[in-house]
């Protein structure tokens, strides 16, 4: 990713984390039937969690011609750091109990794995389609000569 793509991706991640944290807090309120009010400080905490969760995206900024193993290692580090930062902050702010953290971690692993698998599948389909188009173009060129 170049810097412009990385900043766009960081914005998407920021919005996603903000949405997920708000949905988690709303689900906790609905499940526990508690009257929990969000203060301005709580809203700032949500944005801080989202901002801190986007910082590991900087690991994905790659140099030219990076080997595939390096990219995979960077993705794994991104996964671990993002999950650790978000879970740590949610536990620190008292929004997530350590007992629920295991469930959330399993959900996080499933979600991240699904997104990664979908991205790989999409990339393979795109590569296959491009290869077919290139082959068809070369075949047409050979037939005209």
Global pTM? 0.67
Reported as a single tens digit per residue, the pLDDT across 110-139 is: 887 888 889 889 999 999 999 999 998 888
The reply to whether 106 and 90 lie within a common domain is no
Tell which residue, 6, 97, 25, 82, has the closest CA to residue 51: 82
Domain that holds residue 10: 1-96
The reply to whether 73 and 32 lie within a common domain is yes
Tens-digit pLDDT profile for the chain (145 aa)? Answer: 677 888 888 888 888 888 888 887 788 778 777 666 777 888 888 889 889 988 888 887 766 777 878 888 888 888 888 888 988 888 888 877 877 777 777 877 888 788 888 988 999 999 999 999 999 888 888 877 6
CA distance 36 to 62: 43
The reply to whether 16 and 41 lie within a common domain is yes
Tell which residue, 132, 138, 86, has the closest CA to residue 108: 86
- Locate tokens 């309120």: which residue? 29
The reply to whether 36 and 92 lie within a common domain is yes
């Amino acid at each position: 990713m170049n810097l412009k793509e990385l900043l766009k991706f960081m914005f998407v991640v920021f919005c996603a984390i903000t949405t997920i944290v708000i949905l988690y807090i709303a689900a906790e309120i609905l499940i526990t039937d508690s009257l929990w009010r969000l203060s301005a400080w709580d809203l700032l905490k949500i944005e801080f969690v989202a901002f801190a969760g986007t910082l590991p995206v900087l690991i994905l900024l790659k140099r030219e011609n990076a080997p595939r193993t390096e990219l995979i290692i960077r993705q794994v580090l991104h996964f671990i750091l993002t999950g650790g930062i978000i879970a740590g902050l949610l536990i620190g702010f008292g929004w997530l109990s350590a007992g629920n953290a295991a469930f959330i971690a399993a959900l996080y692993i499933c979600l991240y794995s699904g997104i990664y698998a979908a991205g790989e599948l999409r990339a393979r389909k795109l590569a296959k389609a491009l290869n077919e188009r290139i082959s068809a173009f070369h075949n047409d060129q050979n037939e005209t000569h």
